[in-house]
A and B are shown apart, each in its own frame.
Chain A
Amino acid sequence: MDKFASLQFYALLKREVLEHRNIFIGAPVVVALLLFVAATWVATQISQSDLAEGLRFVSALFDGLSPFDMAPFIMLLAIPFYLTLYVCSVIYLINTLYQDRKEMSVLFWQSMPVSNLQTVLSKIVAIVLVAPIFYVLVIFVMYLIAMVWLTILGISNDVDLVGIGYLFLAAIASLVLIYISTVVTGLWLLPSVGWLLLFSAFAKKTPLLWAGGVFILVGFLEDLIFGTQFLANWVASRTSNPDQYLIFEFQSVFERVFNYDTLFGIIVGSILIAGAVFMRRFTD
Chain B
Amino acid sequence: MSNIVEAKSLTKNYGSFAALDGVDLTIPKGAISGLIGPNGAGKTTTLKALIGLCDVDGELSVAGRDPRIARHKLMEDVCFIADVGILPKWLKVSHVIDYVEGVHPRFDRKKAEKFLSTTDIPANKRIKDLSKGMVTQLHLALVMAIEVQLLVLDEPTLGLDIIYRKEFYDRLLNDFYDGNRTIIISTHQVEEIETLLSHLVFINKGKIVLDSSMSDLSDIYTEVLVDADKVAQADALQPIYVRKLLGKKSYTFESVPREQLKILGELHTPSVADLFVAKLKEEKHG
Contacts and interface: CB of A to CB of B under 8 A. Distances in A.
A10 B103 CA distance: 9
A105 B75 contact: no
Contacts of A104: 82, 85-86
Contacts, number: 78
Contact of A111 (B80, B85, B90, B98): B80
B5 to A, nearest CB: 16
Nearest to B54: A283
B81 to A, nearest CB: 8
B102 A18 contact: no
Contact of A19 (B87, B88, B101): B88
A113 B72 contact: yes
A9 to B, nearest CB: 9
B99 A11 contact: yes
A202 to B, nearest CB: 15
Given A107-B86, A113-B73, A4 B99 contact: no
A100 interface: yes
B53 A112 contact: no
A10 B74 CA distance: 21
A140 to B, nearest CB: 26
Query: How many B residues touch the partner, as a band?
Result: 20 to 34
Interface string B36-51: 0000000000001001
A205 interface: no
B91 A114 contact: no
Interface of B: 48, 51-55, 71-76, 78-80, 82, 85-91, 95, 98-105
Interface of A: 4, 7-8, 10-12, 14-15, 18-19, 100, 103-105, 107-116, 118, 281, 283
29 contacts: A7-B102, A8-B102, A8-B103, A10-B102, A11-B98, A11-B99, A11-B101, A11-B103, A14-B98, A14-B102, A18-B91, A19-B88, A19-B90, A104-B85, A105-B88, A105-B89, A109-B88, A110-B53, A111-B51, A111-B78, A112-B75, A113-B72, A113-B74, A113-B103, A113-B105, A114-B103, A115-B71, A115-B72, A116-B72
